[in-house]
Homo-oligomer: A and B are copies of this chain.
Amino acid sequence: MADSFVDPELSNSKRAWNEYFEAKVGFRNYWYPACFSREVQNGEVVVRKILGEGILLRRVRGRVRAIRDRCLHRGAKFSDKVECYTPDTITCFYHGFTFNWEDGKVETVFGAPESAVIGSKRRIKTYPVKEANGMVFVFVGDEDYAVPPLAQDVPPEFLDQGIALEGVDIVIRANWRMGPEGGIDEIHRYLHRDSPLLLYAKKSIPLGHAGASGQLEIVEGPEGPKGIIDRFKPERMFWDGVIHGKVVVSGVNFGPQPDSGKHKRTLYTSMWLPACLKVVSFPDNGFNLFEWYVPIDETTHRCFMTFTTACTNEDEVQKFKEDFKLKWKPLAVDGFLMQDAFARESIQNFYQNDRAWLQECLVEDDIMLMEWRKMCSRNSRGVQRPSHTV
């Protein structure tokens, strides 16, 4: 009974990225966003599945706690009927097993208050939790793993002071790896040529960027986040699609901006372990995109599409909140990022078959994607396996 989500006969065929191939349900021992802070009001619980593990979140005296959504005793799902008699405890509706949100230990069993299991070392799994920029992060991994600081698992600058964040999360019916691979993909700009965002923001976008090792930077020092950075070369962009000598489609090119004399265009994309895309100057100058692809199970992931901007006072924050609702959500989320999500669902049909990974036809300009797979495989802290999800 092989403990792998991937057919064992196939998983050794791509040596440079075997770990990545095996990580069908994600990399283990990393921080992942679970939900937005605003969703975990005091006393309420939020139910999530992350890397195949059912997880329950609750704000306890201001701090969010996370536990496995499954009773130690006989596996009942707490979330089927939530019972919290005190701020610190959760009780299973079935036999009254009562656990502490902090350490997962058995406080009491209402139906068997003399059991030796009470106060013993048996406990439900708890997950380390951090909040940052209005998002709740959960560390999904082994209980004896030395939990790294959150800063190691988010892109650079995400934790900077004075930043406001707005965003949404959406469940996408595609394996999580379709996310990063579509995000650092040099040549998919073609997909966005008709996005309403471009028109609004006077943003130029070519049909593709040439990928070349010279513009690639791999960040994998012992400290800090690990990722790959792609700095596009303006001289290596393609603007016209030509068939038989005739231009049939073009990128969007607004030319240099009157105020700055510069092109308004994305020039810097990066992807970070475990699964976060950072795009500078998106959706517009002065903003960054951080997009997470959090594995739910083999065929779905939760995508957090978030934008940040520097704010110096509450008025600016309110203005950003308003802008997100009225402009960036319709134009940049629905009108741009969802184009990528659509494409991820379209290729899922192919990649869900493990054999497909050996049949794809990557090209020279997919270098970022190939480097991403290798970088992940080199640096992985572990791979989620079926036995982790029981």
Chain B residue with Cβ nearest A117? B363
Interface residues in chain A, defined as those with a beta carbon under 8 Å from any beta carbon in chain B: 1, 7, 9-10, 70, 72-77, 80-81, 85-86, 89, 91, 93-96, 98, 107-117, 122, 181, 185-191, 207-211, 238, 241-244, 246, 248-249, 342-343, 346-347, 349-351, 353, 355-356, 359-365, 386-387, 390
Q: Is the CB of A111 within 8 A of B346?
A: no
Q: In the A-B complex, list the 3 residue pairs whose CB atoms are closest, starting with the nearest.
A: A111-B208, A75-B350, A111-B187
The answer to whether A74 and B191 touch (CB under 8 A), given A85-B249, A86-B248, is: no
Given A109-B187, A111-B188, A115-B363, 10 other A-B contacts at CB below 8 A? Answer: A1-B10, A86-B243, A86-B248, A91-B241, A93-B191, A96-B208, A96-B241, A111-B208, A115-B365, A355-B386
Cβ contacts under 8 Å, A342 to chain B: 80-81
In the complex, residue of chain B having the shortest beta-carbon distance to the beta carbon of A89: B243
Task: Provide a sorted-by-A list of 18 A–B residue pairs whose CB atoms are within 8 angstroms.
Answer: A1-B9, A70-B350, A73-B360, A74-B181, A74-B351, A75-B351, A76-B343, A76-B350, A85-B243, A85-B249, A95-B191, A96-B190, A108-B243, A112-B363, A113-B242, A355-B386, A355-B387, A356-B390
Contact A93 B7 (CB under 8 A): no
- Measured between alpha carbons, how far is A280 from B211 in the docked complex, in Å? 63
A386: min CB distance to chain B, Å: 8
**Residues of chain B with a CB closer than 8 A to A80's CB:** 342, 346
- CB-based nearest B residue for A113: B238
Nearest-Cβ distance from residue A225 to partner chain B, whole angstroms = 26
Chain B residues, Cβ within 8 Å of A349 = 75, 77
